Amino acid sequence: MGRNEELADRARNVLVGNYKQQPIAIERGEGCYLYDAEGRRYLDMIAGIATVSLGHCHPKVVAALEAQSKQLWHASNVVYTLPQIELAERICSSSFAERVFFCNSGAEANEAALKLARRWQRDRGQDRFEIIAFQSSFHGRTLFTVTATGQPKYWEGFEPMVPGVHHAKYGDLASVEALIGPKTAAIIVEPVQGEGGVRPAPKGFLAGLRKLADEHGLVLIFDEVQTGMGRTGPLFAYQRHGVEPDVMTLAKALGNGIPIGAMCTREELARSLVPGTHASTFGGNPLAAACASAVFDELLDGGVLERGQIAGEYLAARLGDMARRLGPEKVVEARGQGLLHGVELLGPAAPVISRCRELGVIVNAAGEKVVRLAPPLIIEHVQIDEAVDVLERAIRES
């Protein structure tokens, strides 16, 4: 028995079986490469699900973590800590946000956003608590965020769900308007639906939501947990649409793999979360915050954001060529923005993903039939060439 198989066996004996893992154990990562327990190298085209955007063990982030680890690990939010302040300053100076609440994951960031929306409406004397979310969305696995997630398979057995959450059709403003009533508090939307199959918002959709939110006094929440931090080209996806949300949530790539989430908003809304209303023990933890500040500096001053934009255009072109070569009997569509792409197949994605792994490239699925690619923003053209060649071969053989 190989080392990978041995570790998979041990894992199955002690871990809750809620994931469907690839049959390899990853031991080490460097740049765009992962190495398994038998020393085999893989080109990482998913970056820990759109998370390790600077590449594995990026030296600047490692240095930030090492320095902070000798200074202070944790003091909790009963006191102020400098890394958290510095990170919030970076978020506010590079976005619409004026106030930030830190937590540890995407679900927690969205949970905070949804709670804030209800509370803010109540503070204005409005009995508005209903949330409009979208079909095929993904917002997390806490009860509130999984209720917002418009994929009923994730609700099975967990009912009753949180009351007052409705799902409109993504891209369809009329279906949103039809759901707005006197109890509506907020709209939550992904600028690109990630888990739901990598579907970018159609042109004008986010601007239309902004207009509806303004007309009806609703809080507009952009879930940028997956699209933020340069994943779709600009630092935040909302910046390409010319509209600002009232709340933006971040997590995945914010810490390049160290767990951290953020709920970013304007001062006027933030005022509703007075002391005692919401909290997180680890939120804005010095280790995580120091890493995330290093990520901002690399993206903005280290040129990684621009690198990612150039790589994104190249990947889009290569995937488009591939889709044309494979034709409509294999590929429905290749779509995406920046370095977040989905290749929708006619058949299931799982065998293609397994075959890619056998050929040394890691990708994953976003839904049953979509292969998702979300490589580190530092990916080079030759690596993109290799990945697309492997993907094409895997699709042909499927």
Ligand X SMILES: *Cc1c(COP(=O)(O)O)cnc(C)c1O
Residues tagged in the binding site annotation for N(2)-acetyl-L-ornithine: 141, 280
Contacts of 1 (CB under 8 A, 6+ apart): 9
Q: Residue 19 or residue 80: which is nearer to ligand X going by CB?
A: 19
What CA–CA distance (Å, rounded) separates 304 from 311?
A: 10
Nearest distance, CB of residue 248 and ligand X, angstroms: 11
Binding site listing for pyridoxal 5'-phosphate: 106-107, 138, 223-226, 281
Q: Cα dist. 234→204, 237, 310, 315, 378 in Å?
A: 17, 6, 11, 16, 15
Q: Cα dist. 140→110, 133, 166 in Å?
A: 8, 13, 16
Q: Residue 84 or residue 110: which is nearer to ligand X going by CB?
A: 110
Nearest distance, CB of residue 330 and ligand X, angstroms: 27
Q: Residue 108 or residue 392: which is nearer to ligand X going by CB?
A: 108
Q: Residue 138 or residue 296: which is nearer to ligand X going by CB?
A: 138
Q: Which residue has the tokens 């400098």?
A: 82
Nearest distance, CB of residue 256 and ligand X, angstroms: 14
Q: Residue 31 or residue 140: which is nearer to ligand X going by CB?
A: 140
Nearest distance, CB of residue 243 and ligand X, angstroms: 18
Cis before residue 200, ω within 30 degrees of 0?
Answer: no
Closest residue by beta carbon to ligand X: 106
Widest CA span in the chain: 65
Nearest distance, CB of residue 109 and ligand X, angstroms: 8
Q: Residue 208 or residue 228: which is nearer to ligand X going by CB?
A: 228
Closest C-alpha among 356, 361, 381 to residue 42? 361
Phi, psi angle pair for 136, to nearest 5°: 65, 10
Q: CB of 229 within 8 A of CB of 291?
A: no
Length of the chain counted residue by residue: 398
Radius of gyration over alpha carbons of the chain, in Å? 21
Q: CB of 271 within 8 A of CB of 124?
A: no
Q: Which residues pair with 28 in a beta bridge?
A: 35
Q: Residue 130 or residue 190: which is nearer to ligand X going by CB?
A: 190
What CA–CA distance (Å, rounded) separates 227 from 243?
A: 15
What CA–CA distance (Å, rounded) separates 147 from 132?
A: 11
Q: Which residues bind ligand X (CB under 6 A)?
A: 105-107, 110, 138-140, 190, 194-195, 223, 225-226, 251-252
Binding site listing: 106-107, 138, 141, 223-226, 280-281
| Buried/exposed 110-148: b ≥16 CB within 10 Å, e otherwise | bbbbbbbbbbbbeeeeeebbbbbbbbbbbbbebebbbbb
Q: Residue 238 or residue 326: which is nearer to ligand X going by CB?
A: 238
Nearest distance, CB of residue 32 and ligand X, angstroms: 21
Nearest distance, CB of residue 163 and ligand X, angstroms: 21
Nearest distance, CB of residue 24 and ligand X, angstroms: 21
What the block records as the tokens of 227 is 């699209």
Nearest distance, CB of residue 105 and ligand X, angstroms: 3
Q: Residue 29 or residue 261: which is nearer to ligand X going by CB?
A: 261
Quickly list H helices, the chain.
3-14, 47-50, 59-69, 82-93, 106-123, 143-148, 173-179, 205-216, 267-270, 286-300, 304-326, 350-358, 381-397
